[in-house]
Amino acid sequence: MTPLIIAVDGPAAAGKGTLARRLAGHFGLPYLDTGLLYRAVGRRVLDGGGDPRDAGVAEAAARGLRAEDLDRSDLRGPPADDAASNVAAHPGVRRALVEFQRGFAAAHGAVLDGRDIGTVIFPDATAKLYVTASPEARARRRWLEVRARDPRADLAEITAEMAARDARDAGRGAAPMKPAFDALELDTTEMDADTAFEVAIAMVAEKLATP
Ligand code: CDP
């Protein structure tokens, strides 16, 4: 039997992570936040004093990635967001991370969230969700998250940074962020996390029921 794979893609702060983690719990599957891979590569480049836009440096960092790099506590926040999105644009970085992502789901299936899970990593995933929300709702959610760590967090700055990152992620040549042709779109602008979860479960259940 082919393992159950649920792809959850979409732009920044759309609610993918919370949703994907809850879906994994519900379906008894392992969960992988693939954004952490790009974040950890970006961090390695910054640690070495390199420029995340330098393809050679970023590829070397991706090839040297170790499991413990994903446990670092400094993978979130504006500098890490920006470094992740810059290293993620290099085809060589993406190639270096493909096998890890596929291997993660090989034995027991998985829920994976990211930007290209349904288009590149698992084009045959059982169910593909493309989670969105309005730019205003997403920026506000990210601002609330960042503000919990840093009271000086500025909504206008976060809005601008997120828009620039989304434009880079959608505009790159390598695995650009976009819905797979067979993805189910879930707009969470007007939904709380519980409602988004219920709607997502119904979407996945319908896919499972369709031969
Ligand atoms: O949490 P948020 O949605 O803001 O970001 P993330 O999912 O942790 O991803 C951080 C960055 O990694 C994104 O802006 C993308 O550039 C990159 N990424 C990617 O290219 N492909 C993925 N499958 C996951 C993340």
Closest CA to ligand 1's atom 2: 12
Q: Which atom of ligand 1 is nearest to the CA of 86?
A: 16
Number of domains in the chain: 1
What per-residue confidence (pLDDT) applies to 78?
A: 85
* Residue-by-residue pLDDT tens, the chain, 211 positions: 678 999 999 999 999 999 999 999 999 999 999 999 999 999 999 999 999 999 999 999 999 999 999 999 999 988 899 999 999 999 999 999 999 999 999 999 999 999 999 999 999 999 999 999 999 999 999 999 999 988 999 999 999 999 999 999 999 999 999 999 999 999 999 999 999 999 999 999 999 998 6
Residue 44 tokens, joined:
């390695």
The per-residue DSSP string of the chain comes to: -PPPEEEEE-STTSSHHHHHHHHHHHHT--EEETHHHHHHHHHHHHHTT--TT-HHHHHHHHHT--GGGGG-S-S-SHHHHHHHHHHTT-HHHHHHHHHHHHHHHHTT-EEEEESSIIIII-TT-SEEEEEE--HHHHHHHHHHHHHHH-TT--HHHHHHHHHHHHHHHHH-SSS-S---TTPEEEE-TT--HHHHHHHHHHHHHHHHH--
Is the residue at 197 inside a domain?
yes
CATH number of the domain bearing residue 58: 3.40.50.300
Task: Quote the pTM value.
Answer: 0.96
CA of residue 107 to ligand 1 center, whole Å: 24
What per-residue confidence (pLDDT) applies to 1?
A: 66
Closest CA to ligand 1's atom 5: 12
Q: Which atom of ligand 1 is nearest to the CA of 168?
A: 16
86 lines ligand 1 (CB under 6 A): no
Q: Which atom of ligand 1 is nearest to the CA of 101?
A: 23
CA of residue 36 to ligand 1 center, whole Å: 7
Is the residue at 49 inside a domain?
yes
Is the residue at 61 inside a domain?
yes
* Substitution candidate for ligand 1 out of 31, 53, 76, 81 with most atoms within 8 A of CB: 81
Is the residue at 129 inside a domain?
yes
Beta bridge mates, 11: none
34 lines ligand 1 (CB under 6 A): yes
Is the residue at 66 inside a domain?
yes
88 lines ligand 1 (CB under 6 A): yes
Is the residue at 13 inside a domain?
yes
Is the residue at 81 inside a domain?
yes
Domain residue limits at 74: 5-205
CA of residue 209 to ligand 1 center, whole Å: 30
What per-residue confidence (pLDDT) applies to 149?
A: 87
Is the residue at 211 inside a domain?
no
